[in-house]
Amino acid sequence: MEQRTNSPYPRLDKPVLAIVGLVLVVGAVLFTINDREHEWRYYQYQFRRVVAEKLGAEKARTVPSGLQQIWVPSLGHADRCVTCHQAVAWKGFEAAEEPFRTHPAEPLKGHPIEKFGCSSCHGGQGWAVDVGPAHGPVEHWEEPLLGTQLGTEYSLVDNKAALMQMNCNTCHRYDRETKGAEMINLAKQIVNARGCRACHVINSRGGTIGPDLTFVGDKAPEQYEYGRLSGQRTAFAWHVAHLKDPRALVTDTVMPNFNLTTKEAQAVAMLILSWRKSPVPAAMVPGTPRTDPQTAGERAAEEAMKIGPGAWFVKTGCFVCHSIAALGVKSPAQIGPDLSTAVDDVQSRFGRTVDDFLASPTGTMSVVLSRQIILTPAEKTIAVQKLREAFAEYQRQKAAGKTPAVSSH
């Protein structure tokens, strides 16, 4: 009796212990049930059944069980996708449902999974073993599975599964063309043909009127100004809208409207978002040298124009945006009007002489002449003289009955 009264909680001793014990037991049971209910156990069970049906019980016993992972040290990825996607390397399940389907052979030929894992191409959270977290999207995780679901959410107009090509291009950015990445290839063609480099540095080559785009894909989604954007507020949606009509989002921009179709704008937005400081080691990035040099053809055309009558415009860099047809200068991008008739056009368009225009330019030229091509007053005098020479040559050719094909703006 006395001993008992010494204890401050004499009567609670046993019940507390009992409850604590019960909680522990229930917890352990719940934990086990919960773990058993991990979806992957179900998928492994199902796959073993599928294998047994098709190839017999003995084969089914060779299906590995428990967590599976591909550890790719060079990428720092531990991809557990194969815990559910067990059929990846099996033959004969090409027509099965996911996740029990054999992987298409073509993409893995040049990229064995031991070296590339899964998430380097597909995105997703490699270490996760439940469908939701593995495929995403998950908050604070920027790399959801680049599959048909996200492609549908992003309203891709063409191939809903194309987003994966962004990941292809974090490694293949220096290829002119990559088999299997058709949207990216289309975008690369557009970037070349439309002369984005006239204003932007991309892979260490280009102009300085717009921002350097080499790593623009690293810009966080919160860093974009969404005020003028209707609909989804994602970096992807911002770029598609900006590419379709730059002024709709940035009212005072000099970036031209290239009249891209939705598909083209989506392709270029994918390319832009793939321009990231890649976490991939240099040895896994094909393409040498690691820049996009001009092709031999582009270089030859430029060299030929440098010794022709329009040499000044080529050497000064005006030809990056302007053709001068009367002098045989063809701009690769043709972002501005042909300068053969500028002397006349500036007068009729702005009611100013071309001398006056170059002395205090407006629009794109005010940015060009203050950021990209800095001309001294003496050089501006030469520019005016060259523009007059071009116009004289244009009039001479016209009088001779062979008007040069001056592209109107």
Site for ligand HEC in 272-291 (CB under 6 A): 272, 280, 284, 286
Among 50, 51, 63, 81, binds ligand HEC (CB under 6 A): 81
The tokens for 128 are 């996760």
Closest contact distance (angstroms) between CB of 293 and ligand HEC is: 17
Nearer Cβ to ligand HEC (1/378): 378
Dihedral (Cα; 12, 14, 17, 20), 10-degree rounding: -70
Among 48, 122, 188, 244, binds ligand HEC (CB under 6 A): 122
Rg (CA), the chain: 32
Helix (H) or strand (E) holding 202: strand 201-202
Among 54, 61, 176, 179, binds ligand HEC (CB under 6 A): 179
| Span of 22-30, 51-59, 210-218, 396-404 interacting with ligand HEC by CB under 6 A | 210-218
CA nearest to 333, candidates 311, 318, 351, 315: 318
Task: Please give the DSSP secondary-structure letter assigned to residue 4.
Answer: H
CB 176 within 8 A of CB 187: no
Among 50, 84, 235, 324, binds ligand HEC (CB under 6 A): 84
| Residues between 149 and 168 with contacts to ligand HEC, criterion CB under 6 A | 149, 161, 164, 167-168
| Span of 228-236, 289-297, 334-342, 397-405 interacting with ligand HEC by CB under 6 A | 334-342
Among 50, 183, 346, 390, binds ligand HEC (CB under 6 A): 346
Residue 107 interacts with ligand HEC (CB under 6 A)?
yes
Closest contact distance (angstroms) between CB of 10 and ligand HEC is: 52
Residue 64 interacts with ligand HEC (CB under 6 A)?
no
**Within the chain, how many helices (H) and strands (E) appear?**
20, 4
Nearer Cβ to ligand HEC (7/257): 257
| Span of 10-18, 176-184, 226-234, 393-401 interacting with ligand HEC by CB under 6 A | 176-184
Q: How many Å apart are CA 190 and CA 193, to the nearest integer?
A: 5
Residue 240 interacts with ligand HEC (CB under 6 A)?
no
C-alpha 316 chain-centroid distance: 32
Residue 327 interacts with ligand HEC (CB under 6 A)?
no
Residue 324 interacts with ligand HEC (CB under 6 A)?
no
The per-residue DSSP string of 288-348 comes to SSSS-PPPHHHHHHHHHHHTSTTHHHHHHTGGGT--BGGGTB--SS--SPPGGGHHHHHHH
| Residues between 16 and 55 with contacts to ligand HEC, criterion CB under 6 A | 39-40, 43
| Span of 23-31, 142-150, 290-298, 397-405 interacting with ligand HEC by CB under 6 A | 142-150
Helix (H) or strand (E) holding 190: helix 182-193
| Whether the bond into 133 is cis, omega within 30 of 0 | no
Q: How many Å apart are CA 373 and CA 46, to the nearest integer?
A: 66
Residue 82 interacts with ligand HEC (CB under 6 A)?
yes
Nearer Cβ to ligand HEC (52/111): 111
CB 120 within 8 A of CB 166: no
Residue 317 interacts with ligand HEC (CB under 6 A)?
yes
Longest dimension (CA), the chain: 129
Residue 248 interacts with ligand HEC (CB under 6 A)?
no
Q: How many other C-beta atoms are found inside a 10 Å radius of the C-beta of residue 218?
A: 13
CB 339 within 8 A of CB 387: yes
Nearer Cβ to ligand HEC (78/301): 78
Q: How many Å apart are CA 241 and CA 261, to the nearest integer?
A: 11
| Span of 12-20, 61-69, 296-304, 358-366 interacting with ligand HEC by CB under 6 A | 358-366
Among 35, 98, 139, 222, binds ligand HEC (CB under 6 A): 98
Q: How many Å apart are CA 28 and CA 25, to the nearest integer?
A: 5
Residue 210 interacts with ligand HEC (CB under 6 A)?
yes
Kindly state the number of chain residues that form the binding site for ligand HEC, as judged by CB under 6 A. 99
Residue 396 interacts with ligand HEC (CB under 6 A)?
no
Residue 111 interacts with ligand HEC (CB under 6 A)?
yes
Nearer Cβ to ligand HEC (105/296): 105
Task: Please give the DSSP secondary-structure letter assigned to residue 205.
Answer: E
